[in-house]
């Protein structure tokens, strides 16, 4: 009996050692797998994260620091002035306030027109037309041209092209000083920006329209619904997520308009069309008041972020309700 019990004890110890060895091997394998996954994750994400930190985060937080200084952007001397820059903006800098109001007005107009025209173009090219692919290319093409180049092209059209058409036809619209008057210059910037952005918004709406079930539309038409009723009660609720995206994109891009403003009017005449982004650029790099320019940019960032978050929140709620 003693020999048998000893033998059982030895066998049990051997089995225990085998189990512990297997467990240790499995743990080691899992650790190696985790380290391998972590290494691959670092390999793919690391360079992008490093670039994001160097290009976005560090300049962002550095800009916040300079917003509270009087740095001119050139010399090495930086003096902390606290909230003096912000007090100056809200009490003395009338041009900043004017540019802010003008940018808000421009943003509202550009958002409405860009989305309406983009959605209208999407409805057009979503039809069974032989030339729909050609039309998509033509409508999207302005978005491929750089903003500055596009602005200079339209500057030539407004100044030379419209004047020639006005002389030949006598139509008063073409005889206006489009970039020489504050009212028409504002609408000139709107025309160029909407013409450029509507094609991109059109692509998003096309993708949404293609996901609308045709069975629902056919059933509604059989029940006697006209095109407007189908559009209002079926198509619009189903493309609501695309509307949210397009409103977000157009809000952000409209508030940050710079290239069209610079190339078309450069803020003229007499700074009457100077949008906020151009005002910030002029303050920081032309007037060499980098601290005040960063203070304007910080206020600009907070306002745009708050408006976009509010817009996305409201749009998402409406998606759920519909």
**Rounded Cα distance, 217 and 212, in Å:** 8
Residue 288 to residues 94, 134, 284, 296: CA-CA distances in angstroms? 18, 48, 5, 14
pTM of the model: 0.82
pLDDT by residue (tens digit) across 136-194? 888 999 888 877 888 899 999 998 898 899 888 888 888 888 898 888 999 999 999 99
The pLDDT of residue 97 is above 60:
yes
Which contacts (CB < 8 Å, 24+ apart) does range 53-60 have?
A: none
The pLDDT of residue 17 is above 50:
yes
By the 8 A CB rule, do 209 and 123 touch? Answer: yes
Element (H, E) at 300: helix 290-321
**Rounded Cα distance, 255 and 273, in Å:** 14
| Residue-level pLDDT at 231 | 87
User: 4-13 burial by CB neighbour count: b if 16+ within 10 A, else e?
Assistant: eeeeeeeeee
The pLDDT of residue 6 is above 50:
no
pLDDT by residue (tens digit) across 234-269? 888 889 899 999 999 999 899 999 999 999 999 988
Q: What would be the CATH architecture of the domain defined by 85-321?
A: Orthogonal Bundle (1.10)
Residue by residue, DSSP assigns 159-203 as IIIHHHHHHHH--GGGGS-TTTSHHHHHHHHHHHHHHHHHHHHHH
| Residue-level pLDDT at 14 | 47
Give mean pLDDT, residues 214-224.
86
């Amino acid at each position: 009996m003693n020999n048998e019990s000893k033998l059982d004890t030895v066998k049990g110890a051997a089995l225990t050692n085998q189990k512990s060895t297997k467990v240790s091997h499995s743990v080691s394998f899992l650790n190696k797998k985790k380290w391998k996954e972590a290494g691959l994750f670092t390999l793919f994400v690391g360079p992008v994260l490093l670039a994001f930190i160097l290009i976005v985060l560090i300049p962002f937080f550095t800009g916040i620091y300079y917003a509270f200084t009087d740095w001119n952007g050139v010399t090495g001397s930086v003096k902390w002035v606290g909230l003096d820059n912000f007090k100056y903006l809200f009490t003395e800098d009338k041009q900043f306030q004017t540019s802010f109001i003008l940018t808000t007005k421009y943003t509202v107009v550009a958002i409405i027109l860009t989305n309406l025209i983009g959605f209208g173009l999407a409805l057009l090219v979503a039809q069974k037309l032989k030339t729909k692919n050609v039309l998509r290319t033509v409508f999207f093409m302005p978005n491929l041209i750089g903003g500055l180049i596009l602005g200079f092209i339209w500057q030539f059209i407004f100044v030379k092209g419209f004047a020639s058409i006005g002389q030949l036809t006598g139509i008063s619209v073409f005889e206006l000083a489009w970039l020489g008057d504050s009212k028409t210059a504002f609408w000139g910037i709107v025309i160029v920006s909407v013409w450029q952005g509507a094609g991109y918004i059109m692509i998003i709406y096309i993708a949404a329209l293609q996901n609308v079930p045709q069975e629902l539309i056919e059933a509604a038409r059989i029940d006697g619904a006209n095109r407007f009723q189908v559009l209002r009660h079926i198509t619009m609720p189903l493309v609501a997520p695309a509307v949210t995206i397009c409103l977000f994109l157009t809000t952000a891009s409209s508030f940050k308009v710079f290239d069209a403003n610079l190339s078309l009017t450069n803020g003229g005449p007499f700074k009457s069309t100077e949008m906020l982004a151009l005002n910030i650029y002029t303050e920081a790099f032309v007037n060499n008041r980098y601290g005040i320019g960063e203070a304007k940019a910080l206020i600009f960032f907070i306002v745009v972020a708050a408006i976009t978050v509010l817009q996305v929140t409201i749009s998402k709620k409406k998606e759920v309700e519909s």
